[in-house]
Amino acid sequence: MIQTNYLIIGSGVAGLTFAVKIAEQFPDKKVTIVTKANENESNTKYAQGGIAIVTDTVGDSYQKHIEDTLICGDGLCDESVVEMVITEGPKRLKELIEWGAKFDQNTEGTLDLGKEGGHSENRVVHHKDQTGQEIQRAILNQVHQKENITVLDYHLAIDIITENNRCLGAYVLDQKTKEVITFQSDFIILATGGIGHLYGHTTNPKIATGDGIAMAFRANAVIREMEFIQFHPTALYDSSSGTSFLISEAVRGFGAYLRTKDGHRFMPDYDSRGDLASRDIVSQSIDLELKKTGAPCVYLDCTHLDLDGFKKHFPMIYEHCKSIGIDIAKDWIPVVPAQHYLCGGIVVDKNGKTSVENLFACGECSRTGLHGANRLASNSLLEALVYSDKIYQYLAENSAIENQAIHSVFGWKSAINPEINIDYVTETKAQLQLLMRQNAGIVRNDADLIKAGKKLSFWKKEIEQQIKKHNVNAALYELRNMIAIGDLIVQQSINRNENRGGFVKI
């Protein structure tokens, strides 16, 4: 058994930020980060656009950002949370800059602010088209400077240990030694990111399998609004399954147009904001166009844009397109919607507390009330920064709270069983991804959802039998989590059952 004061599961911006702050506040306490891949692999790393923060108080205002967020969330945001997150943005940005994060500036030496869909003003702070990677680099550098932080990579959290609705620790699989380690911790912070690979076609890295939410659900934490899944409108079209390359929304903010294969600019047909409508509207509009025409994709036209300016703002996108034979100066970029972000998740209060004592959550795995039915572009990094700080502030002020029931934490009982047939995992995962895309995708109906629910119910029983019969295996436990998440999405979609103007809101 390993004892630690703070066990953080996940190494994205949310988990790392909390780790740095709490380690600095309590240098004599142990902070442990477990992450199932290497330490810099997370959804944060792939965030291209930036952080939506009001820095220009002349042309912009907190109120405008608040209103944009509420409109985008379709009236289902918690207004007090929206106000709290947005007004704290400048403090968190200042902190990042002090930690060494570098953001693009204009010729006047002030922050170069981008504009994305759903925003009424330019307010997106960015580092070219690699903002998440730059933020992660800066925070990881801070982590490495703290002697009381231990980072354990290739460690997959399997389950949270609870007693009487109190979190006591977690079981964690060391994927290199195949040993299940029992952690006893005063507090656990879930910062496990999203669910993208439940759909296969996603902008998320392959580690995004909803592990934290599934573990929290098994620990009886409240999970809500799993039906609110955001599909990014412009992922690079690829007929194969797996992680899709993201074409940032900022490209449309820069002036690119969406077109059908015949060249028709279709977005003004659906929304007065045209190509800069919010993500849910653009994704649903593309879905309708594809169903009408039978085409496999639509196109993003950048040919009229300033090429030098494009290269400067989007070097990674330009080089990636070039590497696969797309010359953005004369070729349209083929794009389709892909699963991008989960707006629901583990319910937390304004301090990041879940319904289970001593268990906290932040980042994409949490449901804070900020996003409502649909996330406003570039609000996610902001939310992660604010909520990791809120958890830190709460625990810094309540440091005397500690688990007393160490004796109740029992070690993992390992059994010698045969290894799982990996073909079973691979085949079931592929079937699950197809089921979710077809039955619980951008536009949904009850008949498809009920059909999916029956299949998921069968898989839930089957996977539990497989877990009893076989040795602990990371792929098997990931699949278990994905099936649990799929069932939550389907059941909560059926319960919501809202159809708005011909669109099922996502």
Burial annotation 74-90 (CB, 10 A radius, 16+ → b, else e): bebbbeebbbbbbebbe
Which amino acid is it at 325? G
What number of residues does the chain have? 506
In angstroms, the CA 502 to CA 480 distance is 34
Q: In Å, what is the CA distance from 17 to each residue of 20, 55, 156, 499? A: 5, 21, 20, 39
| Full DSSP string of 270-290 | T-TTGGGS-HHHHHHHHHHHH
List helix spans (H) across 45-130: 62-72, 79-87, 89-98
Cβ contact 128:104 at 8 Å: yes
The C-alpha atoms of residue 493 and residue 342 are separated, in whole angstroms, by: 13
- Cβ pair 129, 316 in contact under 8 A: yes
The residue annotated as part of the active site, out of 92, 123, 252, 279, is 279
167: left (phi over 0), alpha (psi -120 to 50) or beta: beta
By DSSP bridging, strand 359-361 and strand 179-190 are parallel
- ∠ CA 139-144-150, nearest 5°, is 110
Whether 194 and 210 have beta carbons less than 8 Å apart is answered as yes
**Distances in whole angstroms, Cα of residue 424 to Cα of each of 82, 196, 376, 430, 484:** 44, 21, 38, 10, 17
224 counts as catalytic: no
Distances (CA, A) of 375 to 225, 280, 336, 427, 505: 13, 9, 19, 32, 12
Q: CB under 8 Å to 202, separation ≥6 — which residues?
A: 196, 208, 235, 243, 244, 338, 339, 340
Element housing 326 (H / E): none
- The set of residues, in sequence order, having a beta carbon less than 8 Å from that of 305 and lying 6+ positions away, is 254, 255, 256, 328
Residues 6+ positions from 194 with CB-CB distance below 8 Å? 43, 204, 208, 210, 341, 342, 364, 365
Catalogue the E-assigned strands of 285-406. Answer: 298-301, 333-342, 345-347, 359-361, 366-367
C-alpha angle 277/283/286, rounded to 5°? Answer: 105
Which of 170, 145, 83 lies closest to 360, judged by CA? 170
Catalytic residue annotation: 279
